[in-house]
Amino acid sequence: MEQFPLWTAIVTPMNTDGSVDHESFELLLRKQEEAGNGVLVLGSTGEGLNLNEEEKRGIVQFTKGLDLDVPVMVGIGGFDLSAQVDFIHWLNEIEPDALLLVTPLYAKPGAEGQFEWFSELMAETELPCMLYNVPSRTGVKMHPSVPARLSKEFDNLMGVKEASGSVEEFKAFRREAPDVKFYSGDDGMTPAFTKEGGVGLVSVASNVWPKATRKYMDLCLADETEDLFPLWKNATDALFKAPNPVPVKTLLHKKRWITNDTVRLPLSLSDISEEVENELLEQDKNIAEWLDSQ
């Protein structure tokens, strides 16, 4: 598969009753296609763990049925190994372009447990697999030795989404596995990660700014971001002033790209203030003006 520097961790639009809004979803996917961004469905931004098995399969089938000109990655998450293996077996038949495998939730396994967990999952598929390190959500850091060991055992390791929020930890991964491709999992950390050898970004911001974020990523890879601050830091910070994806869905709704800003419990729209909503609109205006100037 061709390497894509930008993947959008796409939201899952919902109707007011909580069902999936396929009309809005197609609009969002087409905007990513137009920008040339790969698409990740069923990630944490897509509320993947809040969807049941039937809904998840329906989202994958719907996305694949659009025959997008950009690759589609599917998130695999949770702590039930057998359920994840079953889902992977089903995905082997559907044939998305890649899978995203997250460090196990809640159990806080050590290096050996992490290695064996990922090994069990990767052995069940020939699809390219990206690992996901996000200790703020899983409660445990991926050990730097794990990607290095897996790269020696499996040909289908396509890279690592690194969302530790630490440049030093990113550098530790790179020292252990210099031949593995590392992607920033944090919009705000992307310039720092690309300076240390990062090859791309799995983005939340590109939901609302697909073309601008792609331009931003290209500038990061070219190490030409000096003139972007504080613009991008302020913009991406605003997207995380309430639990993700509440701010993103709020802004998408205000931009009229989705019909409703519905989220599922335990997420709540009440966690976003009017002040943050106004800031999101201001940052949206700033990003639009910047993109027009390019």
Cβ distance 170 to 164 under 8 Å? yes
List phi, psi (to 5°) of 68: -65, 155
Q: Is 161 known to be catalytic?
A: yes
Beta bridge partners of 6: 201
Q: How many residues does the chain have?
A: 294
What pLDDT, in 10s, does the model give residues 231-250? 999 999 999 999 999 999 99
- pLDDT over threshold 80, residue 227: no
pLDDT (average), residues 202-212: 97
Q: Could you tell me the pLDDT band of residue 18, with boundaries at 50, 70 and 90?
A: very high
- pLDDT over threshold 80, residue 284: yes
Name the catalytic one among 31, 132, 211, 249. 132
List phi, psi (to 5°) of 107: -75, -20
Q: Which domains does the chain have, with CATH numbers?
A: 6-223 (3.20.20.70)
Name the catalytic one among 31, 56, 141, 161. 161
b/e map 139-167, b = 16+ CB within 10 Å: ebbbbbbbbbbbbeeeeebbbbbbbbeee
User: What was the pLDDT predicted at 197?
Assistant: 93
For all residues of the chain together, what is the average pLDDT? 94
Measured distance CA(124)–CA(118) in Å, rounded: 10
Q: What is the dihedral of CA 83, 89, 90, 95, to 10 degrees?
A: 130
Cis omega before residue 245 (within 30°)?
yes
User: What was the pLDDT predicted at 182?
Assistant: 95
pLDDT (average), residues 191-203: 93
User: What was the pLDDT predicted at 35?
Assistant: 97
Residue 62, helix vs strand vs coil: helix
User: What was the pLDDT predicted at 1?
Assistant: 61
Element (H, E) at 85: helix 81-94
What pLDDT, in 10s, does the model give residues 140-175? 888 999 999 999 999 999 999 998 888 998 999 999
- pLDDT over threshold 80, residue 280: yes
Q: First vs last Cα of the chain: how many Å apart?
A: 30
- pLDDT over threshold 90, residue 106: no
What pLDDT, in 10s, does the model give residues 33-55? 999 999 999 999 999 989 999 99
Tell the burial category of 122 from Cβ atoms under 10 Å away from its Cβ (0-12, 13-18, 19+).
Answer: buried
Cβ distance 177 to 161 under 8 Å? no
